[in-house]
Amino acid sequence: MKLNYSFLALLGCILFSFSVIEISCKKEADQPKIPVITTLAISDTSYTTAICGGDITSDGGDEVHTRGICWSTGANPSTSNSKTIDGKGIGKFSSSMANLLPGTTYFVRAYATNTIGTAYGESVSFSTKTYPTKGTLIGNVKLYDRYGNENHVYTDVKIELTDTTNKTIIVFPGPDGKFRVDNLLLGNTGLFIDKPGYGILNSCVVRHTKIIDTLSTIELLEELPFAFQNYQVSYSAGMLHYDEYCDYVSTDSYMVTNLICFSKSPTVSLNNCSLLAWTGSYTNVAYINSGSNASTSFSFTSFSNAGFKSGDIIYSVEYPVGQKFFSIYYDQLSIFNPFTYKIGNQSNVDSFVLQQ
């Protein structure tokens, strides 16, 4: 039988081509690729944090040396945006996002990197929680007479709260002196408490920032029945000089100290002052008919730290204060202790020119 050499040659070419293709396919199949990864669901979303993660099902034939999540406020974030680095290798992993903005929509993707490149899971969006605008303020009022005995009558106590829009809310405490205000706008809140015949709590500012805030117990003392009269004050060489006169006779006795208030305003009072000073005291006062020529050390720095400067006209007024029950906290923007005072009536207003 005569062979057809042309046919054999064609057959050989075909077989050779198949072998080349097969070898080429095997080589391509053996080449490493980027990993295969999916983005896990978002969980535990708060105002500024959230948790996400990824699942790497294949390393592409090359070890995953970096993995994590990346996020931004734009779609399809990459590792050039905010990201975490959470170990290496395949499998599931979890990661936390922090320092997020409240009430903001974010996009997040899981990523995995080997020597070939970086693979990303699908882009998942979520929104952080929005801070509330209102909350609840809880407080407690305690009333004492001038000897420290508790007065349990709260029916004529009035509480006024002024929110950040200057809206005033009137609240009356319960029979136990406790009060609660719901749906109060968050922010610095003015507080005024009044009971006839008692020291007042006025111009206090509380920082209301939580869903539920609790004030310290507010204590008010029955007003002392006398005042310092014909009050005069001067200042020189770091010394505060003052004269006070009081004419009072009673069978009662008190522990009384002096509280002096300073302001640039002629309407100076406990509720309108920039600086407070405590001076001498009277022990077991039952009878006062006196004048004094007293002085106490008071540095110029104390005035300058309160915003006064040399040459300013400073107005001053004096109050008698029940020392045993006296408590006052001046910087209300940094603490929750209420601005409370248990006082008698103020004296006249006097003034002096501040000289260093």
Q: Is 290 helix (H, G, I), strand (E, B) or coil?
A: strand
Q: Is 165 helix (H, G, I), strand (E, B) or coil?
A: coil
Helices (H), the chain: 5-29, 300-305
Q: How confident is the model at residue 281 (pLDDT cuts 50, 70, 90)?
A: low
Distance CA(157)–CA(177), nearest Å, equals: 9
What is the pLDDT at residue 203?
57
The amino acid occupying position 92 is K
Q: How confident is the model at residue 48 (pLDDT cuts 50, 70, 90)?
A: very high
Q: How confident is the model at residue 294 (pLDDT cuts 50, 70, 90)?
A: confident
How far from 271 is each of 5, 192, 282, 335, CA to CA, in Å? 118, 11, 24, 18
What is the pLDDT at residue 269?
84
pLDDT tens for each residue of 116-170: 999 999 999 999 998 888 999 998 888 877 666 888 889 899 999 999 898 999 9
Angle at 235 between CA 231 and CA 240, to 5 degrees: 70
| Highest mean predicted confidence (pLDDT) among 92-96, 145-149, 293-297 | 92-96
Higher pLDDT, 164 or 291: 164
What is the pLDDT at residue 342?
56
Give me the chain's average pLDDT, please.
81
pLDDT tens for each residue of 259-280: 888 999 999 987 788 888 877 6
Q: Which residues pair with 220 in a beta bridge?
A: 143
What is the pLDDT at residue 34?
96
pLDDT tens for each residue of 338-347: 444 456 678 8
Q: Is 12 helix (H, G, I), strand (E, B) or coil?
A: helix
Higher pLDDT, 295 or 174: 174
Angle at 159 between CA 154 and CA 160, to 5 degrees: 165
What is the pLDDT at residue 29?
57
For each of the domains in the chain, give its residue range(s) and CATH number, in order of start: 36-127 (2.60.40.10), 134-221 (2.60.40.1120), 229-353 (2.60.40.2060)
Distance CA(42)–CA(29), nearest Å, equals: 35
Q: How confident is the model at residue 19 (pLDDT cuts 50, 70, 90)?
A: low
| Highest mean predicted confidence (pLDDT) among 171-180, 217-226, 254-263 | 171-180
Distance CA(41)–CA(198), nearest Å, equals: 60
Average pLDDT over residues 315-337: 55
What is the pLDDT at residue 331?
37
What is the pLDDT at residue 337?
43
Distance CA(148)–CA(296), nearest Å, equals: 29
Average pLDDT over residues 23-41: 78
Higher pLDDT, 255 or 138: 138
pLDDT tens for each residue of 212-250: 888 877 877 777 666 777 889 999 988 988 887 776 666
Q: How many residues does the chain have?
A: 356
Burial 83-96 (b: 16+ CB within 10 A, else e): bbebebebeebebe
pTM, entire model:
0.48
Q: Is the pLDDT of residue 329 over 50?
A: no
Q: Is the pLDDT of residue 183 over 60?
A: yes
pLDDT tens for each residue of 52-92: 999 999 999 999 999 999 999 999 999 999 999 999 999 99
